[in-house]
Every structure is written in structure tokens, then in C-alpha cells.
Copies of this chain bind each other. A is one copy, B any other.
Amino acid sequence: MMAASAWTMDGWMSTRLARVEAALDAWMTDAPVPTRGWGAPTALVDAMRYAVLDGGKRLRPLLTMAAFEALSPAAEPSSEGAALRAACAVELIHAYSLVHDDMPCMDNDVLRRGKPTVHVKFGEAGALLAGDALQALAFELLTPDDGSMPLAMQGLLCGVLARAAGSTGMAGGQAIDLSSVGFRLDEPALRHMHELKTGALLHASVMLGAVCGQATAPEKRALSDYGHALGLAFQVVDDVLDVTADSAALGKTAGKDADNDKPTYVSILGLEASRRMAKDLLAQAHAALQASGLANTVALAGLANLVVQRSH
């Protein structure tokens, strides 16, 4: 017998990324829906595809798949399909938020991942609608009507994603962000903003995988702790990179938050304390995995390392 090749983080990521890209590509289409005889209009699908495909680190889908696999080393194919749908759904929510964030009335960004932003390419109305349709598509992915996914699981997944996306999650965090420009937030207020703005969806990415893998209550608690630590670490590192990396590495304009007088961890705690905080959060994430009792957490651990040690 041939020995199986050694597990590597790069190998794990590249196979999962390929699956996610292929699924996203297949689900955004203007092909007619068999039961209805029409498809989505081509212009809208083009804008949605431009917003989602061929770019992005796919951190959220990778978290969903890693959490799922931590629970189900030998999962049955049907729940693997559910995990892939959930992984893509959370990425669609993330993608829609970037499309709307980049619009002139919000951050007015013209470059994203080194390409013109969606409103530059498709007009503001096109970007607005593409974002709206991507949010709906996330919930469409979670609710196939072909019997391929238990209805109760669909309900649970929609609930986790809706709460993470809505007014007490991502959209709420963006509203706080909007109203905080030029204000001096203290650390608890900044943490609260980020827990909603980016933390809620990163946390949900993990919890969607937990639902698909049918985690027990204690497993869910441990994965939730991991998700919280990772979500906050992500933002602290973002703030550090905003002042230390250059625009080419980031694929977006560096120093933008500082220039816009936005409160950041670096502006409140300073650079060194922010770096220490990121390391502490990484240790917390690892400790949560340890406490979970799950055997197969190597991908989750690797993703936490990547979040804190990334250069862009």
C-alpha cells in the first residue's frame, strides 16, 4: 500500500478553496431555473460574479469547513454538501458587505483586491442591487428545496447567519463605525464595534460548521470561544497592518483608517500593545480548541495562526 501523503495546511487549504470556488461559480448563474423557466438577468449575475469570484482569501468559508471537519472526520456526503453550502453562504454575506461598503456614500473606495470596485465597473445602482441579491442568495444556498439537506438544519443555519448579518451583527457594527468617525472611542467601545462589524460573521462562520457537524452543546461552547477570539484577533491585526503594510501588499489603500480619523486598536492602545493583544487572542483561540476535546482541530488551529501571522 502507498502511504498517504503528509497533511499540510497548504494542501488542506488548496483542496477546500478549489471546492468553494467551484461551488460559488456554479451557484451564480443566469441559466433558467427548471421549475420556473427563467433565470436571473445576465447583467445582475455578471455584477454578482465580479463581486465574488476570483479574489478574496475565503477565510470565512475555510473556517466553516474546518469547524465541520473537526466534528466529522468521516462525515457522510450529505452533511458535507451542507457544509459547503454554508461556507459559500457566509462568503456571499461578506462579499455583499464589501460591495455596499465600497460605494460612494460609504467608504467611496475605487479599488478592491487590486481591481475596480463593483460600482466603478457596474454603476452604483448595479452595485446596490448586486449586494442585495447576494444577501438573498446566501439564504437561498442554505435552503435547497430538493431534499438534499434536512429542513431543520436549514432553519438553524439561516438563524445563525441572519443574526450575524443583521442589526445586532455586521450591519449594526457598520452603523456604529459610521457614527464613530472623528470620535475618540475607548477600548471597550471599539471592541464592541468590531465584535459586531467583523467578529459576528467570523464567529458565525465557525458556528455554521458546528451546526452542519451537529456539535454537542459543550463542543459548540468551545468552538464559540475559538470564534470570538479569532474574530477579535482578525480586527486587531487589520489595524496593525493598516499602519505597517504597504498598499501593494494589502491590495487596498494603506493608512486609510488613520487618514480618515477612524478609531483603531493602534490609535487607542499603540502598536506594540496591539501586537501583544493579537498574540494573546491567538493563545485564547488555541486554548479553546484544546478545551473542545475534539481530535481533529489542526485546520482550525492553522487558520488562527494565519489570521494573526498574515502580512495582508
Contacts and interface: CB of A to CB of B under 8 A. Distances in A.
A133 B136 CA distance: 12
B175 A44 contact: yes
Contact of A154 (B158, B161, B178): B158
Interface string A39-53: 111011100100000
A137 B106 CA distance: 21
A283 interface: no
14 contacts: A33-B168, A41-B176, A43-B178, A45-B167, A100-B129, A100-B132, A105-B123, A129-B178, A132-B135, A132-B171, A135-B136, A143-B159, A153-B155, A154-B159
A105 B132 contact: no
A97 B135 CA distance: 13
Interface string A130-163: 0111011101101111000011111110110111
Contacts of A274: none
A128 interface: yes
Interface size class of A (residues with CB under 8 A): 35 or more
Interface of A: 33, 36, 38-41, 43-45, 48, 96-97, 100, 103, 105-106, 123-126, 128-129, 131-133, 135-137, 139-140, 142-145, 150-156, 158-159, 161-163, 165-169, 171-172, 174-176, 178-179, 192, 196
Contact of A44 (B40, B43, B161, B172): B172
Given A43-B179, A179-B41, A128 B128 contact: yes
Contact of A40 (B40, B131, B136, B168): B168
Contact of A155 (B126, B135, B143, B196): B143
Contacts of A168: 33, 36, 38-40
